[in-house]
Structure 1
Amino acid sequence: MRCYLVGGAVRDALLGLPVKDRDWVVVGATPEQMLAQGFRPVGKDFPVFLHPETQEEYALARTERKTGRGYTGFAFHAAPEVTLEDDLARRDLTINAMARDQEGRLIDPFGGQRDLAARRLRHVGPAFAEDPVRILRVARFAARFADFSVAPETMALMRTMVIDGEVDYLVAERVWQELARGLMEAAPSRMIRVLRDCGALARILPELDRLFGVPQPPQHHPEIDTGEHVLQVIDRAAATAQPLAVRWACLLHDLGKGDTPAERLPHHYGHEAHSARRAREVSERFKVPAECRELAELVAREHGVIARVAELRPATVVKVLERCDALRRPARFEQVLAACACDRQGRPGFEQRDDAPAARWRAALAAARAVDAGRIARECADRAQIPARIHAARVAAVSAAL
């Protein structure tokens, strides 16, 4: 029985990056032997165990055989005679198919170290084409390792997989899991570019794919192309270390521009309502967490008016604050402002512009929240007039503050 450190821990150590998670492959063992040594089983489809002390994952070496479409159509075989190379051969990329033995020796049967040096994402072998999730993983690694390129033969294989319809069998939860992880990487735009280059974006997220080539007024959008603008916005969200909900909102905020009739281009009057509907539909399709779904819809609907705060009357400002539920949920409204700042600054030459709209909204919100609604309610003889009195007091406070 031999244990080998595998995958990301080996890769990241060779790159000089911090090693966060350590995964192990066990060769020459049976599940009974693992249980006898105190390992706790956690795998559902194949034998995976937690170390009794470190809680790190130890998986029995295994092979897999394709039995159906999609990423769940596999039969796994784990047995003492399965070799380490057999196990590594089923992995996605060469940089993830390396191992170290217990003496620290590197085992690299597929040239992963060479591809690390060449800054190249290359598939291990033809079995890559059997699992469409691997397209998402390659895109996610492109977002993580911004100076790596996808090998031409790997991109060609991914395109073939899309044409063959493998991507259409991905389940929504799995797509969301990979998209969410990719959005949290340093260069999330690269994930979208890789998905688009291989044709997968049009199948997974057609609402986003069709934004590429849609023009915008150059005086407001020097990048002109709506799809390119979205990519710059999500990279701005990454550069400012925004949480996932903000990054998801940034990705979906302009989906409605794909609905603009051709005769109106490059203008997109009223696109916010269409964007909110699209953002809701996409979020529901992928079954994203409520926090992400709600913020995406809110930002899509309100980002236009948030940017024009200097033009708004105090009464309109208060209406927007109330519509966003900002008085009860100021932390979420702060996320709305963060996403809108990424929208404004995610354009060529706009990156260093100050965030004047956000400062104005914060001042307005502070003034509105300072109004003592309880006192107004107690002093109001006609209870039917309480909401109007509170609203009027907030408008007066915001007017004074701005």
Structure 2
Amino acid sequence: MQVYLVGGAVRDRLLGHPYHEKDYVVVGATPQQMLAQGFQPVGKDFPVFLHPETKDEYALARTERKSGHGYHGFEFYTGASVTLEQDLIRRDLTINAMALDDDGTLYDPYGGQQDLAQRLLRHVSDAFAEDPLRVLRIARFAARYKALGFKVADETLQLMKQLAQSGELEALTPERVWKETSRALMEDHADEYFEVLRACGALKVLFPELDALYGVPQRPEYHPEIDCGIHTMMSLQQACRGNYSLDVRFAVLLHDLGKALTPKEELPRHIMHEQRGLQPVTEVCERMRVPTHTKQLALAVCKEHLKCHQALTLKPGTLWRLLQRLDVLRRPERVEAFIQACECDSRGRLGLENREYPQAQYVLDAMQVVRSIKAQDLPPDIQGPDIGEMLIEKRIKALSALKQAFELQQTI
């Protein structure tokens, strides 16, 4: 019985990249031997165990064979005769197909260390094409390691293209697609995930609404980058740069989907694209089964982002109604996330990445103003429906004072 550290921990240790999870493969053991040593079984498809103390995962060495369609269409074999090399060859990338023993000896039968040095994401074997989920995983790795200069190897990209064309991607469950996408969105270069998916044709299959933005022009005086798809990726870069939440990044990703639906005769203008975008945003969220709060922010940003850009010129009553629609009194955190997403949209433009966005502080100040006015501060003789009406009146009056103060400050 031999135990090896495998996968991401080995890869990241060699890269000097931080890692937390440790996965081990056990060669020459049976499930009965693992149980006898106190390991706790957790694997459903094949024997995986948790260490009785560290709770790290220990999987018996295994081989696999494609037996059906999609991500789950595999048959696994585990036995004491399965070698380390046989276990490693079923993995996705060479940089993930290395192992370390207890003495620190590196086992690298498929050239992972060389590919680390050359910054290449290369598949281990042609069996890569048997698992459609690997298309998303490779795109996610490309996003994670973009700052280190990693690229997808040409031959691996070709296999990914074949998978995208094969119909296998449609067999992926919404949960798996969302899990990989949400993890990729939290990388520092999340845009690379979508760029790689587009390069291999998978974006058109999994995110047709997003793919449709590429090639759609915008007015150059507002969008020097012109292309709607490029603008979306630049906006997402801003969300990564701000280290914003998953909800904000996802909202930024979908905020302009309506521009793909603009009638050609209206281009490069996009009148009413906010309203047109609500349906595709809804469809993406429902298809991927994203969490409700994530969907709600995405819809709000799609519908209202132009109002945020116009905040400095909005009438106080209009600004109040915007804050109301964002549920300012119960969900101030949603208003903050909304502002962050709108700021990313404003700065996701060629040459304007560092532009000022005073609307952000102005809307934040407006939020604090309206939240500071409470029913208990009203005169005691105000009762019933009059309470709500007076609260609205006072909040709009306070927003009017805020606007006057802001305009006065601009003249100084």
Question: Partner of 2:119 in structure 1?
Answer: 119
Give matches, 1:355-394, under 5 Å: 355-376=357-378, 378-381=380-383, 383-394=384-395
Question: Partner of 1:216 in structure 2?
Answer: 218
Specify whether residues 377 and 246 from structure 1 end up closer, same or farther in structure 2 by C-alpha distance, changes over 3 A only: farther
> Which ranges of 4 or more aligned residues in structure 1 deviate by more than 6 Å?
none
Deviation, structure 1 residue 375: 4.1
**Is residue 94–residue 122 contact of structure 1 (8 Å, CA) maintained in 2?**
yes
Question: Partner of 1:398 in structure 2?
Answer: 399
User: How far apart are the structure 2 equivalents of 1:338 and 1:344?
Assistant: 10
TM value normalised by structure 2: 0.95
Q: What is the SS of the residue equivalent to 1:49?
A: strand
Question: Partner of 1:349 in structure 2?
Answer: 351
Structure 1: gaps spanning 5 or more residues: none
User: Counterpart amino acid of 1:356?
Assistant: P
User: How far apart are the structure 2 equivalents of 1:237 and 1:389?
Assistant: 38
User: How far apart are the structure 2 equivalents of 1:307 and 1:379?
Assistant: 40
Deviation, structure 1 residue 95: 0.5
Q: What is the SS of the residue equivalent to 1:223?
A: coil
User: How far apart are the structure 2 equivalents of 1:175 and 1:192?
Assistant: 13
Note if 1:201 corresponds to 2:214: no
User: Counterpart amino acid of 1:181?
Assistant: R
User: How far apart are the structure 2 equivalents of 1:291 and 1:62?
Assistant: 40
User: How far apart are the structure 1 equivalents of 2:279 and 2:337?
Assistant: 20
User: Counterpart amino acid of 2:62?
Assistant: R
**Is residue 62–residue 82 contact of structure 2 (8 Å, CA) maintained in 1?**
yes
User: How far apart are the structure 2 equivalents of 1:379 and 1:210?
Assistant: 58
User: How far apart are the structure 1 equivalents of 2:34 and 2:232?
Assistant: 49
**Is residue 237–residue 250 contact of structure 1 (8 Å, CA) maintained in 2?**
yes
User: How far apart are the structure 2 equivalents of 1:314 and 1:193?
Assistant: 41
User: How far apart are the structure 1 equivalents of 2:371 and 2:159?
Assistant: 57
User: How far apart are the structure 2 equivalents of 1:393 and 1:222?
Assistant: 42
Deviation, structure 1 residue 202: 0.4
Q: What is the SS of the residue equivalent to 2:18?
A: coil
Question: Partner of 1:161 in structure 2?
Answer: 163
Identity of aligned residues (%): 52
Deviation, structure 1 residue 275: 1.8
Structure 2: gaps spanning 5 or more residues: 404-412
Question: Partner of 1:57 in structure 2?
Answer: 57
User: How far apart are the structure 1 equivalents of 2:381 and 2:347?
Assistant: 46
User: How far apart are the structure 1 equivalents of 2:241 and 2:64?
Assistant: 39
Question: Partner of 1:276 in structure 2?
Answer: 278
**Is residue 328–residue 335 contact of structure 2 (8 Å, CA) maintained in 1?**
yes
Q: What is the SS of the residue equivalent to 1:24?
A: strand
Deviation, structure 1 residue 279: 1.5
Question: Partner of 2:28 in structure 1?
Answer: 28
User: In terms of mean alpha carbon deviation, does 338-347 or 384-393 score higher?
Assistant: 384-393
Question: Partner of 1:139 in structure 2?
Answer: 139
User: Counterpart amino acid of 1:169?
Assistant: A
**Is residue 48–residue 57 contact of structure 1 (8 Å, CA) maintained in 2?**
yes
User: Counterpart amino acid of 1:212?
Assistant: Y
Q: What is the SS of the residue equivalent to 1:379?
A: coil
User: In terms of mean alpha carbon deviation, does 349-358 or 133-142 score higher?
Assistant: 349-358
Give matches, 1:275-354, under 5 Å: 275-354=277-356
Deviation, structure 1 residue 377: 8.2
Question: Partner of 2:176 in structure 1?
Answer: 174
User: In terms of mean alpha carbon deviation, does 191-200 or 340-349 score higher?
Assistant: 340-349
Q: Residue deviations 1:5-27, cap 9 Å, x none?
A: 00111101111112221110000
User: How far apart are the structure 1 equivalents of 2:21 and 2:236?
Assistant: 27
Question: Partner of 2:71 in structure 1?
Answer: 71
Deviation, structure 1 residue 135: 0.3
User: How far apart are the structure 1 equivalents of 2:381 and 2:190?
Assistant: 53
User: How far apart are the structure 2 equivalents of 1:298 and 1:242?
Assistant: 17
Q: What is the SS of the residue equivalent to 1:75?
A: strand
User: How far apart are the structure 1 equivalents of 2:266 and 2:381?
Assistant: 52
**Is residue 301–residue 338 contact of structure 2 (8 Å, CA) maintained in 1?**
yes
User: How far apart are the structure 1 equivalents of 2:18 and 2:264?
Assistant: 50
User: Counterpart amino acid of 2:299?
Assistant: E
**Is residue 3–residue 24 contact of structure 1 (8 Å, CA) maintained in 2?**
yes
User: How far apart are the structure 2 equivalents of 1:220 and 1:179?
Assistant: 30
User: How far apart are the structure 2 equivalents of 1:101 and 1:333?
Assistant: 51
User: Counterpart amino acid of 2:292?
Assistant: A
Q: Residue deviations 1:294-329, cap 9 Å, x none?
A: 111111111110110012100000000011101221
Question: Partner of 2:406 in structure 1?
Answer: none
**Is residue 308–residue 342 contact of structure 2 (8 Å, CA) maintained in 1?**
yes
User: Counterpart amino acid of 2:54?
Assistant: T
Q: What is the SS of the residue equivalent to 1:327?
A: coil
Deviation, structure 1 residue 392: 1.2
User: How far apart are the structure 1 equivalents of 2:396 and 2:287?
Assistant: 39
Deviation, structure 1 residue 4: 0.3
**Is residue 119–residue 151 contact of structure 2 (8 Å, CA) maintained in 1?**
yes
User: Counterpart amino acid of 1:256?
Assistant: G
Q: Residue deviations 1:88-129, cap 9 Å, x none?
A: 010000000000112111100110011111111100001101
**Is residue 328–residue 371 contact of structure 2 (8 Å, CA) maintained in 1?**
no
User: How far apart are the structure 2 equivalents of 1:190 and 1:297?
Assistant: 24
**Is residue 277–residue 297 contact of structure 1 (8 Å, CA) maintained in 2?**
no
User: How far apart are the structure 1 equivalents of 2:164 and 2:351?
Assistant: 36
Question: What CA RMSD, in Å, does the superposition of the two structures yield over aligned residues?
Answer: 1.2
